[in-house]
A = this chain, B = another copy of it.
């Protein structure tokens, strides 16, 4: 298998390099064809690497970047004020062909703004979208957009649907069922954008568009790709994270009320922990930015080592499948 080179923003995320560097080294050991470029403050990164013996330095390069984008920094400020940020330098490696993908756990808004500025969008795409996997009764579905675009026209939703379908195929779903998220499944339901987008999708050839899906239908597994604007997607994802976390806490509280239930609780704990991991897939698996002339995967800011490794694996699949090229090929036929 030919080598894949991935640029890592080693400074981003809630935990920073002390979490990202070890996670990157684990992936390097796991995939012999993987090359990594760790971008950030060289002395700090080298100090962490030095703690791990046996690292294959032939496949590991450190690229210096003097600045770091804070998690609460405004995207405009990150774009204009920090030309030498680790995030930007990592994206520039992709643009210059020195890397084939960028993975970052940093500030989402800044990563989106910088990705658009540095890599540009594919022809015909107005705005990139962010897509992640959500668990369902039937397995999982791909949900997009997750917060990059708070105001969307029908055309944007249409573009997201096309990109989501191609990306889902790339990630292994055959003929993915594509649906628009709505407040009902009948044609008359929904706001103007959703109704118009549905009309556009009904006319798209080669797309397995199945119509509207509701919030409960999403978790029932009624569709493989669920499309909505970034405002709705972000609120759905975050409220789901909040609810899952509340349920976990309630279960623990319920199981600690009496000696009898405490015993059951102790026995049930491993089962519940497994569930908790399954319920936070965005946190666990990373999200793809779709519609760019390059591959960018966002790892959750609070993702620990395992989560960041999953984001690198996701980037690796997209590199091997050449996702931007596939998107470009399909978009030429499907875009209006």
Contact = CB atoms under 8 A, between A and B. Distances in A.
Contacts of A246: 135-137, 219-220
Contact of A216 (B72, B192, B239, B278): B239
Given A242-B217, A246-B137, A191 B235 contact: no
Interface string A204-226: 00000000001111111000000
Contacts of A191: 150-151, 231
Interface stretch (A88-96, A247-255, A306-314): A247-255
Given A232-B231, A247-B247, A242 B271 contact: no
A215 B231 contact: no
A259 interface: no
Nearest to A146: B183
Interface stretch (A25-33, A118-126, A158-166, A261-269): A261-269
A176 interface: no
Nearest to A135: B246
Contact of A215 (B192, B234, B249, B272): B234
A250 B278 contact: yes
Contacts of A275: 247, 250-251, 254
Contacts of A238: 183, 214-216
Contacts of A239: 215-216, 218-219, 236, 239-240
Interface of A: 72, 74, 135-137, 147, 150-151, 181, 183, 186, 188, 190-192, 214-220, 228, 230-232, 234-247, 249-251, 254-255, 260-261, 264, 267-268, 271-272, 274-275, 278-279
Q: Which 3 A-B pairs have the closest CB atoms?
A: A215-B238, A215-B239, A219-B242
